[in-house]
């Protein structure tokens, strides 16, 4: 049965729903390229961890939603090629009609398929994999399994990072993170939960990430100047949570 798609608007923001009040995506109508929901900004904290002047070049997005992450990367990282895997054709249609999904076959490869099957079957490598796929009950299904995360690891480049939205897991956030932690052999961490309740996990492959909070703050200032995205609150929460030993993030 096809997923029911609903669109609502409030205070200048357009929302995507899957047959319930649960928000699956959002866009501020006056600023369609900006990231509206807090957790989408948090997923972009991956940009703090590599040399963002040349990274990422190849991105895999699993779950399209309101195309927020797609539009942000497309607009602000013109050298990046984006592969988007979305299982539900109605979501793609809604993103095009209501959320200004760009039409650019040279830079955007839109695949209507199951994200798990795509990762298992592709031989492509990606610098950044963003996993944000949920059904109408806010469950990720096969996207939250050890074999899937292991497969994601094999699809990452030598500077690869994976970011996963762990909201709504039936066994809790820690259960989902345990799969990621195992798949990446400890090269994984969870950022402190943002106010929306979402927890974003990051995992890395290849070259070790070792970056001080001061350098992350400097990177955040550069990204804010370039894109308008303010990741300084994320860095501040990392500092407050004592997540980083000796004020250095190692991944």
CATH code of the domain in which 97 resides: 3.40.50.150
Angstrom distance (rounded) from CA 121 to CA 132: 19
Residue 119, domain extent? 6-250
- Please state the rounded mean pLDDT for residues 73-80: 96
- Please state the rounded mean pLDDT for residues 217-226: 95
Q: How confident is the model at residue 243 (pLDDT cuts 50, 70, 90)?
A: confident
Spatial CB neighbours of 138, under 8 Å, sequence gap ≥ 6: 22, 167, 168
Angstrom distance (rounded) from CA 81 to CA 159: 16
1 domain residue, yes or no: no
Q: How confident is the model at residue 52 (pLDDT cuts 50, 70, 90)?
A: confident
16 domain residue, yes or no: yes
| 67 contacts 98 by C-beta, under 8 angstroms | no
**pLDDT greater than 60 at residue 32:** yes
- Cα 130 to Cα 11, 17, 143, 210, 236, distances in angstroms: 28, 20, 11, 21, 23
188 domain residue, yes or no: yes
Strands 248-250 and 210-212: antiparallel
Tell which wins on pLDDT, 1 or 155: 155
- Cα 97 to Cα 10, 124, 183, distances in angstroms: 18, 30, 38
- Please state the rounded mean pLDDT for residues 235-249: 84
Angstrom distance (rounded) from CA 12 to CA 158: 41
- Please state the rounded mean pLDDT for residues 99-109: 96
179 domain residue, yes or no: yes
- 162 is written with which tokens? 């994976």
**pLDDT greater than 50 at residue 170:** no
237 domain residue, yes or no: yes
Question: How high is the pLDDT of residue 69?
Answer: 97
**pLDDT greater than 90 at residue 139:** no
How is residue 247 annotated by DSSP?
G
**pLDDT greater than 80 at residue 111:** yes
Lowest mean pLDDT of 19-23, 129-133, 202-206, name the range.
Answer: 19-23
- Bond preceding residue 56 cis, omega within 30 of 0: yes
Angstrom distance (rounded) from CA 79 to CA 86: 22
Catalytic residue among 114, 132, 158, 247: 132
Q: How confident is the model at residue 140 (pLDDT cuts 50, 70, 90)?
A: low
3-state SS class at 188: strand
Annotation marks residue 132 as catalytic: yes
| 161 contacts 49 by C-beta, under 8 angstroms | yes
- Please state the rounded mean pLDDT for residues 181-208: 88
pTM of the model: 0.92
> What is the number of structural domains in the chain?
1
Please give the helix or strand (H or E) that residue 177 lies within, else none: helix 173-183
- Please state the rounded mean pLDDT for residues 80-106: 95
Question: How high is the pLDDT of residue 2?
Answer: 61
71 domain residue, yes or no: yes
């Amino acid at each position: 049965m096809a997923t029911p798609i609903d669109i609502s608007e409030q205070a200048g923001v357009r929302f995507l729903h899957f047959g319930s009040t649960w928000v699956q995506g959002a866009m501020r109508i006056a600023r369609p390229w900006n990231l509206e929901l807090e957790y989408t900004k948090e997923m972009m904290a991956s940009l703090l961890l590599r040399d963002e002047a040349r990274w990422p070049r190849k991105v895999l997005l699993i779950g399209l939603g309101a195309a927020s992450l797609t539009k942000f990367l497309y607009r602000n990282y013109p050298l990046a090629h984006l592969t988007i895997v979305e299982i539900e054709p109605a979501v793609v249609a809604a993103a095009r009609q209501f959320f200004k999904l760009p039409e650019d076959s040279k830079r955007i490869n839109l695949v209507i398929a199951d994200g798990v099957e795509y990762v298992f079957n592709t031989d492509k490598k990606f610098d950044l994999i963003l996993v944000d796929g949920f059904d109408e009950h806010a469950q990720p299904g096969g996207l939250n399994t050890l074999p899937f995360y292991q497969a994601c690891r094999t699809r990452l480049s030598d500077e690869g990072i994976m970011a996963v939205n762990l909201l709504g897991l039936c066994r809790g956030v820690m259960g989902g993170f345990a799969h990621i932690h195992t798949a990446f052999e400890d090269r994984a961490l969870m950022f402190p939960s943002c106010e929306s309740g979402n927890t974003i996990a990051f995992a890395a492959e290849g070259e070790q990430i070792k970056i001080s909070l001061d350098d992350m703050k400097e990177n955040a200032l550069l990204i804010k100047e370039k894109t308008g995205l303010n990741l300084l609150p994320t860095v501040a929460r990392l500092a407050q949570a004592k997540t980083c030993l000796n004020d250095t993030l190692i991944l």
